[in-house]
Amino acid sequence: MTGGAVTGRLTTPDGWPVGGGTLTAVDGAGGQGARTVSGDDGHFLLDGLAPGAYTLVVAAPGHDPAARTITVADGRITPLGVVPLARAGGTVLPAPGTWDIDPQHSSIRVSALHLGMSRIHGRLRRFAGQIVVADPLEGSSVEVTMDPAGVDSDDPDRDAHLRSADFLDVARHPEIRYKSEGLRRLDGEHWTLEGVLTLKDVSAPVPLHVVYRGTGPDLFGGVRAAFSASAEISRDDFAISWNQSVLAGVLAVGRTLRIEIDIQACRS
């Protein structure tokens, strides 16, 4: 190898590779030392550089430019590591259209305080739904159906109790539904989704605090969007009032349920 080289990888801030990015090494006199283009996987190799200090200027379509200071040694490859490039104009929001929730890469988790000390956790394993993204985004909507019989708390006896009339009463109420009624933007990544939860045929408003995690390609040539959300609800609002009192009036199961959601959705 004549001279030195620099290697690294261009990605988005959330780790997706940036291909077709141009990297130019500029020396102290403003001259171009070398130039290359990143591959589809984001990797690049800039070689043939004379020893010395350079400013590496990075540019890629649809992304904000970046610059790095590098020092090149003769006969050596300098690893630059990952160079993140922010998308131009900030976070790219999901494209308008219908996005199907992928239950295999999503989760709905519920936790409650036990004996006033620690939390017990469960999951709703079976659910399906769609996100309809509108333009403007505030007009978007979400509908999700959940199967209460799919509750899983890692204990078969407890799960049987949760499915009984004391809690979810799945024999009489085989479906849980959530339907949005409005979306309010807080900033580029944080939103409030107003909606109604129907559980045991009781409907009550439950706002979700939503964080948008980004959009990018999947392994099958499709496009995915990711979100996380959280909420707290009272069991009493949905006629789930079973409880046992222990010493000093402490309840076996807390009345407040914490809901945490992670969603991947595929564009239809």
- Single-letter code of the amino acid located at 150: G
List where CATH 2.40.128.110 sits in the chain: 97-267
At residue 86, φ and ψ (nearest 5 deg) are: -70, 145
Query: Which residues of the chain form CATH 2.60.40.10?
Result: 4-84
Q: How confident is the model at residue 227 (pLDDT cuts 50, 70, 90)?
A: very high
What is the per-residue pLDDT for 92? 64
Q: How confident is the model at residue 247 (pLDDT cuts 50, 70, 90)?
A: very low
pLDDT by residue (tens digit) across 59-86?
998 788 999 999 999 989 999 999 998 7
Looking only at the bridges linking them, the beta strands covering 107-114 and 118-124 are antiparallel
Band (pLDDT 50/70/90 cuts) for residue 91 is low
What is the pLDDT, as a whole number, of residue 61? Answer: 85
Identify the architecture of domain 4-84 in CATH.
Answer: Sandwich (2.60)
- The predicted pLDDT at position 245 comes to 46
Please report where in the chains the tokens 């610059």 appear, as a residue.
Answer: 67
b vs e for 145-162, b when ≥16 Cβ sit within 10 Å of the residue's Cβ?
A: ebebbbbebeeeeebeeb
Cα–Cα distance, 253 to 237 (Å, whole number) = 15
Q: Which two tokens stand for residue 147?
A: 């199967």
DSSP 163: H
Structure tokens at 194: 């107003």
pLDDT of 114 > 70? The answer is: no
pLDDT value for 106? 97
Q: What is the pLDDT of residue 254?
A: 65
Average pLDDT in the chain: 88
More confident residue, 63 or 260: 260
Using the predicted structure, report yes or no on whether residue 115 has a pLDDT greater than 70.
no
11-15, 41-45, 66-70: range with lowest mean pLDDT? 11-15
Q: How far apart are the first and last CA of the chain?
A: 49
CA distance 177 to 23: 50
Residues of the chain by 3-state class (helix, strand, coil), percent to 5: 10, 55, 35
Architecture per CATH, domain 97-267, reads as: Beta Barrel (2.40)
Better-predicted residue by pLDDT, 240 or 60: 60
CA R_g for the chain = 26
Return d(Cα 67, Cα 135) in angstroms, integer: 34
Determine the pLDDT at residue 63. Answer: 83
CB 163 within 8 A of CB 148: yes
- Asked whether the beta carbons of 202 and 191 are under 8 A apart, the reply is no
CA 178 – CA 1 distance, rounded (Å): 62
The whole-number pLDDT of residue 20 equals 94
Tokens of residue 208, six digits: 């979700």
Q: With contact defined as beta carbons under 8 Å apart, do 206 and 179 qualify?
A: no
Question: If you search the block for the tokens 């499709």, which residue do you land on?
Answer: 222
